[in-house]
Amino acid sequence: MVEVQRTKPEKPFVQKMMVLAVVVIPFLATIYAIVLLWQRYVNGLDLTLMIGLYLLSGLGITIGYHRMLTHKSFETSPIMKAILLILGSMAIEGQPSDWASTHIQHHAHSDKEDDPHSPLVGLWHSHVGWMWRHAAQPDIYGKWVAKDPLVAWVDRTWLVWVVLGLLIPLAIAGWSGFLWGGLVRVFLTHHITWSVNSICHTFGQRPFNTSDASRNNWIVGLFAFGEGWHNNHHAFPRSAFHGLRWWQVDLSAYIIRLMEATGLVWNVYRVNPEDEHRRELQAARLNVK
């Protein structure tokens, strides 16, 4: 009997060039912005736009793309779901179905051969390089995401929201607003998000024993709105709250709690304290050995 090997899909050349543009253009724009900052060619409005849109688009990724769509950590109305996915689209990290499918594959094969972005291949690969090689496989990972009509609509209109996220700062503050609230903001959002893949599988603490190299990193946790508590997340993937201790800052969790209190989200998934304690004891025993 002949064994048939499943080949990994190859990302089309045009998509590779798009990835190159999305990585390189914000990087060059950020270098230019640093020069302007040094020469004091920046104002409060530019920085406000950068921080404000960084918060909105970043939370669209962490709360919308990640915790809501990929892990079903809570339920919400179609309108709120669309808002969160649109905000995530403005981060220019790909269509929601592709993002979710890639992350589902990451959890299915974390730090193993079929992991799209394991640092065991190399730190550069896990941070950026994987995007030139990996093509999302929604027909295998996350079939239910592709069947969601609202997600399909955001997928189809994704480019509209990407452009809108760049036009808003341009309309408010002109070209300097486009530079800081658009390109620099995209650069920061990208590299903070990608640091979860690279830094948080390389540097940090492992309070829970998981089958991968995931780690908690407080710096990434702070700037990635709680995503840096990555070992916690891999131990309890569906949890809406990645920061499991009061001192583990998790802005996304605080906002989800506020949305729950106001009725905007419901059926919020929480870690059972007994399960958490059992996993901690298991990790402690292994560390003693």
Given its phi and psi angles, is residue 202 left (phi above 0), alpha (psi -120 to 50 degrees) or beta? alpha
Higher pLDDT, 167 or 16: 167
For residue 205, CA distances in Å to 164, 199, 209 come to 39, 11, 11
Q: Report the pLDDT averaged over residues 8-30.
A: 89
pLDDT band for 283, please (50, 70, 90 cuts). low
Q: Assign 3-class secondary structure to the chain.
A: CCCCCCCCCCCCHHHHHHHHHHHHHHHHHHHHHHHHHHCCCCCHHHHHHHHHHHHHHHHHHHHHHHHHHHCCCCEECHHHHHHHHHHHHCCCCCCHHHHHHHHHHHHHCCCCCCCCCCCCCCHHHHHHHHHHHCCCCCCCCCHHHHCCHHHHHHHHCHHHHHHHHHHHHHHHHHHHHHHHHHHHHHHHHHHHHHHHHHHHHCCCECCCCCCCCCCECHHHHHHCCCCCEHHHHHHCCCCCCCCCCCCCCCHHHHHHHHHHHCCCEECCCCCCHHHHHHHHHHHHHHHHC
Mean pLDDT of the chain: 93
Q: Is the pLDDT of residue 6 over 70?
A: no
The whole-number pLDDT of residue 4 equals 32
Do residues 45 and 173 touch, judged by C-beta distance below 8 A?
Answer: yes
The whole-number pLDDT of residue 286 equals 62
Q: Is the pLDDT of residue 7 over 80?
A: no
Read off the pLDDT of residues 63-87 as tens digits, 9 standing for 90 and up.
999 999 999 999 999 999 999 999 9
Do residues 116 and 100 touch, judged by C-beta distance below 8 A?
Answer: no
Do residues 88 and 57 touch, judged by C-beta distance below 8 A?
Answer: yes
User: Measured in whole angstroms, how far is the alpha carbon of residue 41 from the centre of its chain?
Assistant: 31
What number of other Cβ atoms are within 10 A of residue 284's Cβ?
12
Q: Report the pLDDT averaged over residues 141-158.
A: 95
Lowest mean pLDDT among 151-165, 257-271, 275-289: 275-289
Percent of the chain with pLDDT over 70: 95
Identity of the residue numbered 251: L
Do residues 135 and 10 touch, judged by C-beta distance below 8 A?
Answer: yes
How far apart, in whole angstroms, are the C-alpha atoms of residue 289 and residue 286?
5
Lowest mean pLDDT among 46-55, 152-161, 164-173, 266-275: 266-275
Read off the pLDDT of residues 23-61 as tens digits, 9 standing for 90 and up.
999 999 999 999 998 888 889 999 999 999 999 999 999
Read off the pLDDT of residues 188-215 as tens digits, 9 standing for 90 and up.
999 999 999 999 999 999 999 999 999 9
The whole-number pLDDT of residue 9 equals 75
Q: Is the pLDDT of residue 3 over 70?
A: no
The whole-number pLDDT of residue 284 equals 66
The whole-number pLDDT of residue 169 equals 98
